Amino acid sequence: MFDYSNYIVRDPKICGGQPVLRGTRVLLRTVLASLADGDSIEQILASFPTLTRDQVSAVIAFAAASAEEDLPTSGTPA
């Protein structure tokens, strides 16, 4: 899996401590919302020209890892 740890930071002085992409003020939730709306990586890069493809990949990897932690490990939810 893609190592996102070098791309994502939380700093109480930046955007109230919400996770952002390092060196930017672009929130992870903003990128995730764009993906959820059906935007392609190319569209996101066009909308946020300071971002790189690796940064967007880091957001996706972070979301995947977060979802893995939150999903039940066995059985079907009732």
For each of the domains in the chain, give its residue range(s) and CATH number, in order of start: 8-69 (1.10.10.10)
Q: Tell if the pTM clears 0.75, that is, is over it.
A: yes
CA distance 39 to 42: 8
Tell me the angle at which helices 28-36 and 53-70 cross, rounded to the nearest 10 degrees: 90
Instruction: Summarize pLDDT for 3-43 with one digit per residue, the tens.
Output: 888 999 999 999 999 999 999 999 999 999 999 999 999 99
pLDDT value of residue 76: 57
